[in-house]
Structure 1
Amino acid sequence: MVQHDRIIGEFMELVQVDSETKHEEAIAEVLKKKFADLGLHVQEDDSKEKTGHGAGNLICTLPAKGKGVDAPKLLFTCHMDTVTPGKGIKPELGVDGYIRSDGTTILGSDDKAGLAVLLEGIRVLQEQGTEHPQLQFVITAGEESGLNGSRAMDPKWLDADFGYALDSSGEIGGIAVAAPSQQKIFITFYGKSAHAGVNPEDGVSAITVASRAVSKMTLGRIDKETTANIGSFSGGIVGATNIVCDKVMLEAEARSLDTEKLNKQVASMQKACEDAAAEMGATCEFRSHLLYPSFKFTDEAPVVQLAKRAITRVGLDPLTFHSGGGSDANVFNGHGVPTVNLAVGYEYIHTKKEQIKAEDIVKLATVFVALVEEVGKETR
């Protein structure tokens, strides 16, 4: 049985370990010891050499027990890093049952609530003597920096039939069965410098060209499956209003659940840039690459059905939904492990108002145990 005080105490402990993204070394050491003390085989991959982050990904394996050797292998994943400001977090449990920081930092329930759930869930399985399949826990670094850890991870590490990320917003019982792919876009416009007061007609303003290009783009919500956004616009020299700007750089993205729609959106953004540059006598460089793939499951998919049975079993209502953001689940689906993202219950993440109900952490741990027990009933 999940122990309320134990799991909440562990959550409080975890959020007080500084782990802002790119600085995961301290939390990685804490987690290595915790998983090893529970009897799991713990390894760290070499991804930090590629990402420059403070740690690699942790791959922690609990061998199958009893009849579980014949059941499908499960993957569970959370990330160890947080966004900023995440140093010196002081968690507080309010009389309303919510855990919050003192207001000077984030809380870090994204994703340390998930980590606390996994650790407590393993303890409960062991205390109950539950027969279970092989359980693989992949704890990633650099998720908050663009899924850097999982994207740099060699797929050879993965050994599972189904996967569950514990890293989605929403009420406990929610299952993100779809999430979009993201195309990262870098655009550079080259104009021609000139004196803005003496001979502006000899110049070509890259700022004007870029502005015209953006005005030609369809951005924001394209349709129910597709979005696009210009994230940054930079160029010129601060204070140098007397110079016609000759270089502007834009960073942008496009997302979609549908690959054809994504490609069409990116192509239209590129055409807008090339047309604007040609019209005004400038040039542009347009580079894009796929950051991570999309995934989409029906409610009848085995990975979804298993989660729904577990959620129902503990007295909660399963709810499937489509997410607008990416997670490590996208990457692991791309590597061939069917993975959905379970709601953790955190609220106002990435802000100093972040909060989570203590009871929701307990509820998710009961879902985890039920899920493992459910898959133990199956044979491959």
Structure 2
Amino acid sequence: MIDPQRMLQKFMDYVRVDSESGNERAFAEVLLKDLGAFAGLSVEWAGGGEAAGSDAGNLYAYLPGTMQGEPILLCAHMDTVVPGRGIDPYVEDGFVKSRDGTILGGDDKAGITAILEALRAVLEEGLPHRPVELLFTVKEEVGLMGAKTFDISRVKSRLALSVDYVGSPGVMPIRGPGMMEIRAKIHGVPAHAGIAPEAGVSAIMVGAAAVSRMKLLRVDEETTANIGTFRAVGPTNIVSPEAEIVIEVRSRSKVKLAGHTNELVQALQSAADEYGARLECTVREGYVPYDIPGDDPQVVRVAEACRRAGVTPEFVSCGGGSDSNVFNAQGLVSFNIGSGMKDVHTTDESLSIAEFVSAARVLRELIL
């Protein structure tokens, strides 16, 4: 059976191992050792390290089934956001939290721990189980890079379930956004700011004018846009010759995603034209949206496992990207379930122990 105390101890051990994006090697080695203790589980490095820009690589494992049953791929990512060095976890009022101004790292080490506990419980009980595939990816937090470099053709499962969402495991985001990234460089004209400012074109002013014309943050129910970088560094006695702006657009609608991206690029271009600056702009697709029907057999399969584990399933839409975006685009059915995480990507992050344990119970039902 699921052992809550063992789960909790393993999670706290895991988060103490630093694994900020691109520096997952130390944690991957710990995970590789733990996976090696599972009888019958074959484990291997599955590439992605160099291509993704990580010092490690994806880890893939396969456990043959002992009964007839559709296989399942369980996925989580090994990297964390910053600040994720020197995490010192502690338990308070049913939650795991962190000290000293770091994240906790439940995103996504809670998912990894829940997956391993579910598999461990099934094997300890000697229960018949379906074939199980495990995939632990690198650099999910900075562009889903590990998943993008993984060879999906080797996967035997039709369902790739990512244990990488907030709240209860019953919360299933079956609709997720796509993302586009805009990188703009505005080239102005330098001039002495005190003697001849009229001769210059301020890249900062151009950028500010462009931003003032943009619809940002919550655009509509399906769409968001955010500026992550607005950078211009220089002395105050020179009219700013260059500014950099980096924007992301997300939407669950492909049409809106393309349309709002174009609107933001046009705002940049029109401001540059108006002031006489030169715009250098690139647009990159980060990932594509997905929308899985609630009656899809794979969704029903997970919902039934939730009910067997005493968890109420709830289908939702989300605004975040995950490895599931990559897997859906490559032909699998993929979505996330919660593992008890709260306030992820902040130093207030915590983990609900009750929901964390429930996630392992749901996963155990899916393996059987």
DSSP 3-state at the match of 1:23:
coil
Q: 1:288 Cα deviation (Å)?
A: 0.6
1:133 alignment counterpart: 130
Q: Provide the rounded CA distance (Å) in 2 between the counterparts of 1:86 and 1:241.
A: 36
DSSP 3-state at the match of 2:193:
coil
Q: Provide the rounded CA distance (Å) in 2 between the counterparts of 1:190 and 1:11.
A: 49
Gaps of 5+ in 1: 374-380
Q: Provide the rounded CA distance (Å) in 1 between the counterparts of 2:155 and 2:161.
A: 13
2:53 alignment counterpart: 52
Q: 1:232 Cα deviation (Å)?
A: 1.0
1:261 corresponds to 2:260: no
1:121-140, Cα deviation, whole Å (9 max, x unpaired): 11111123332322111101
Q: 1:350 Cα deviation (Å)?
A: 2.3
2:34 alignment counterpart: 34
Give 1:300's aligned amino acid.
Answer: D
Q: Provide the rounded CA distance (Å) in 1 between the counterparts of 2:101 and 2:259.
A: 43
Q: Provide the rounded CA distance (Å) in 1 between the counterparts of 2:174 and 2:246.
A: 29
1:99 corresponds to 2:100: no
Task: List aligned pairs for 1:302-317, cutoff 5 A.
Answer: 302-317=297-312
1:284 corresponds to 2:279: yes
Task: List aligned pairs for 1:340-379, cutoff 5 A.
Answer: 340-373=335-368
Paired residue for 2:114, among 108, 112, 117?
117
Q: Provide the rounded CA distance (Å) in 1 between the counterparts of 2:264 and 2:360.
A: 44
Paired residue for 1:337, among 329, 332, 339?
332
Give 2:240's aligned amino acid.
Answer: C
1:230 corresponds to 2:231: no
The answer to whether the 8 Å contact 2:167/2:355 transfers is no
Q: 1:229 Cα deviation (Å)?
A: 1.4
Q: Provide the rounded CA distance (Å) in 2 between the counterparts of 1:263 and 1:4.
A: 46
The answer to whether the 8 Å contact 1:72/1:162 transfers is no
Q: Provide the rounded CA distance (Å) in 2 between the counterparts of 1:5 and 1:211.
A: 53
Give 2:333's aligned amino acid.
Answer: P
Q: 1:105 Cα deviation (Å)?
A: 2.5
DSSP 3-state at the match of 2:182:
strand
Give 1:176's aligned amino acid.
Answer: P
Q: Provide the rounded CA distance (Å) in 2 between the counterparts of 1:98 and 1:203.
A: 56
Task: List aligned pairs for 1:157-172, cutoff 5 A.
Answer: 157-172=154-169
Give 1:167's aligned amino acid.
Answer: D
Q: 1:103 Cα deviation (Å)?
A: 4.0
Paired residue for 2:266, among 271, 277, 280?
271
264-273 vs 46-55, greater mean Cα deviation: 46-55
1:176 corresponds to 2:173: yes
The answer to whether the 8 Å contact 1:63/1:133 transfers is yes
The answer to whether the 8 Å contact 1:23/1:55 transfers is yes
Give 1:212's aligned amino acid.
Answer: A
Distance 1:229 1:90, change over 3 A: closer
Q: Provide the rounded CA distance (Å) in 2 between the counterparts of 1:80 and 1:251.
A: 26
Q: 1:64 Cα deviation (Å)?
A: 1.7
Q: Provide the rounded CA distance (Å) in 1 between the counterparts of 2:363 and 2:103.
A: 25
Q: Provide the rounded CA distance (Å) in 1 between the counterparts of 2:254 and 2:345.
A: 29
The answer to whether the 8 Å contact 1:170/1:346 transfers is yes
DSSP 3-state at the match of 1:143:
coil
97-106 vs 136-145, greater mean Cα deviation: 97-106
> If the length of structure 1 is used for normalisation, what is the TM-score?
0.93
1:155-197, Cα deviation, whole Å (9 max, x unpaired): 3343321111000012231111111011011011111111112
Q: 1:32 Cα deviation (Å)?
A: 1.0
Give 1:316's aligned amino acid.
Answer: V
Q: Provide the rounded CA distance (Å) in 1 between the counterparts of 2:268 and 2:347.
A: 38
Q: 1:152 Cα deviation (Å)?
A: 2.5
The answer to whether the 8 Å contact 2:340/2:353 transfers is no
Q: 1:81 Cα deviation (Å)?
A: 1.4
1:290-319, Cα deviation, whole Å (9 max, x unpaired): 111111112111121111111111222111
1:15 corresponds to 2:15: yes
Give 1:203's aligned amino acid.
Answer: G
Q: 1:31 Cα deviation (Å)?
A: 0.9
The answer to whether the 8 Å contact 1:2/1:365 transfers is yes
1:207-252, Cα deviation, whole Å (9 max, x unpaired): 1111111122222211111111111111241xx1111112111000
1:61 corresponds to 2:62: yes
1:247 alignment counterpart: 242
Q: Provide the rounded CA distance (Å) in 1 between the counterparts of 2:226 and 2:352.
A: 33
Give 1:18's aligned amino acid.
Answer: D
Gaps of 5+ in 2: none
Percent identity over the alignment is 37
The answer to whether the 8 Å contact 1:74/1:162 transfers is yes
DSSP 3-state at the match of 2:228:
strand
289-298 vs 127-136, greater mean Cα deviation: 127-136
Root mean square deviation of aligned Cα: 1.5
> If the length of structure 2 is used for normalisation, what is the TM-score?
0.96
The answer to whether the 8 Å contact 2:49/2:56 transfers is yes
DSSP 3-state at the match of 2:332:
coil
1:221 corresponds to 2:222: no
DSSP 3-state at the match of 1:325:
coil
Distance 1:105 1:210, change over 3 A: closer
Task: List aligned pairs for 1:189-228, cutoff 5 A.
Answer: 189-228=186-225
The answer to whether the 8 Å contact 1:176/1:343 transfers is no
